[in-house]
Structure 1
Amino acid sequence: MKEPSDEILMQQVADGNLDLLKVLFNRHHKHVYNYLYKMSGDGMLSEDLTQDVFYKLIKYRNSYRNGSFVSWLFTIARNSLKSHFRRDAKNHEDISVLEYKSTGNGEDQQEDYSHLQNALNRLEETDREMVILNKFQEIRYEELAEIMGSTPGAVKTRVCRILKKLKGYYLESI
């Protein structure tokens, strides 16, 4: 038997079946955490914001309108991160200068991750966000376009350009 889609589950959550939120949480909390961690570089903050995203998912469940669940979820995550840094700007460094704390096992792997994160940090915040969502979180162009308020074609072109820029930055750092 095929498992119900995220959209069907979220619609049932919106209709009041909060027990199904556990299924959505289990499917997506790691992706949300990883996105927030790659954007902020702060594990504790990412954990807190991940909890906040799922709290907001419950709180605003009635605003879900049968669109792409992943787009809706990452829009909440994106807005939560921006709100946090806007609200606490005086307590945090600029996102782009945060150092990546790799959890890689080998020294070479850690160095590769460090070079990649340094290259990512050189990108503008919105460019870095698009690459992380598309390549690391595997958000499709259609969903990314919905999150960014653009068209799939424009997003695909922009991601391609950003990846070329990222490749240049990465190759400079090794």
Structure 2
Amino acid sequence: MAELTDEKIMYKVKEGELAELTQLFDRYNVPVYNFFLRLTAEAAISEDLTQSLFYRILRYRNSFNAAAGSFKSWMYQMARNLHADHCREKLRLSEVIKNVHEYPEDVLEKEDGFKEHDFEQLKKAMASLGPVDRELIVLSRYEGLKYAEIAKMKSMSLSAVKVQIHRALKELRLLYFKQ
């Protein structure tokens, strides 16, 4: 039996087959968790944001429209909004204390060609980036979104996204090798 596309599953959810959302959860809970983890560097908050995202997907299921973009880009747009809400709340509560030296374990599998030190060095460099640059790198490199999807998500031109990602990667490279 052929696997249904994300969009077809989401249309089933839209039509009231809410149990179908479990397939999308199974496909995306780890990537979404890692997206939040890279932005927040806090495992508990990342878990909460992941849970909240799937609640929002369920709550706002009727706003999904495949003609406007893929399910993945719609979901990550919602994740970005959720993260922005979280940051505003965090600022509102004046809890902007972040220790750069303590990072939770990432859920990604380790590759043989890299050492743990390399991953820690990359995490520190990512944490040193500005939030906009970090988000662009996470969306494009870690989550695999195409530049056109990011441009649409951020209401920017494709060329502006390319330039910003290029600059963000250049900055990340400098920060990584500076350590």
Q: Identify the TM-score tier after normalising by the shorter chain.
A: 0.7 to 0.9
Task: Report what 1:151 is aligned to.
Answer: 157
TM-score relative to the length of structure 1: 0.88
**Consecutive unaligned residues in structure 1, runs of 5 or more:** none
Find the counterpart in structure 2 of residue 71 from structure 1. 73
Gaps of 5+ in 2: none
Counterpart of 1:131 in structure 2: which amino acid?
A: I
**Deviation sequence 1:3-26 (CA, Å, 0-9, x none):** 221111112211211121011111
Task: Name the CA distance, whole Å, in 2 between partners of 1:98 and 1:37.
Answer: 15
Residues 95 and 80 (structure 1), Cα distance of their counterparts in 2 relative to 1, 3 Å cut: farther
Q: 1:20 to 1:47 in 2, by over 3 A?
A: same
Match of 2:104 among 87, 90, 101: 101
Establish whether residue 51 from structure 1 lines up as the match of residue 51 from structure 2: yes
State, as a whole percentage, how many aligned pairs show the same letter.
34
CA contact (8 A) 2:101 2:124 kept: no
Q: Within 1, Cα distance between the matches of 2:121 and 2:36?
A: 19
Q: Does the 8 A contact of 1:131 with 1:159 survive in 2?
A: yes
Residues 67-125 of structure 1, C-alpha deviations (whole Å, 9 max, x = no match):
2111111111111111112113225326695843345889x833222211221122110
| SS of match in other structure, 1:93 | coil
Partner of 1:25: 25
Equivalent residue number for residue 3 of structure 1: 3
Report whether the alignment pairs 1:61 with 2:70. Answer: no
Indicate conservation of the 8 Å contact 1:85/1:92, yes or no: no
Query: Is 1:129 equivalent to 2:159 in the alignment?
Result: no
Q: CA deviation at 1:2?
A: 2.9
Partner of 1:110: 116
Letter matched to residue 80 of structure 1 = L
Amino acid at match of 2:56: K
| Structure 1 equivalent of residue 83 of structure 2 | 81
Cα RMSD for the two superposed structures: 2.3
Q: State the one-letter code of the partner of 1:143.
A: E
Structure 1 position 139, deviation (Å) = 1.4
Residues 2 and 154 (structure 1), Cα distance of their counterparts in 2 relative to 1, 3 Å cut: farther
8 Å CA contact 1:40–1:95 kept in 2: the answer is no
Please report the TM-score for the alignment, with normalisation by the length of structure 2.
Answer: 0.86
- Whichever structure has more helix as a proportion of its residues is 1
Aligned equivalent of 1:119: 125
Deviation of the 1:154 alpha carbon: 2.4
Secondary structure of 2:115's aligned partner: helix
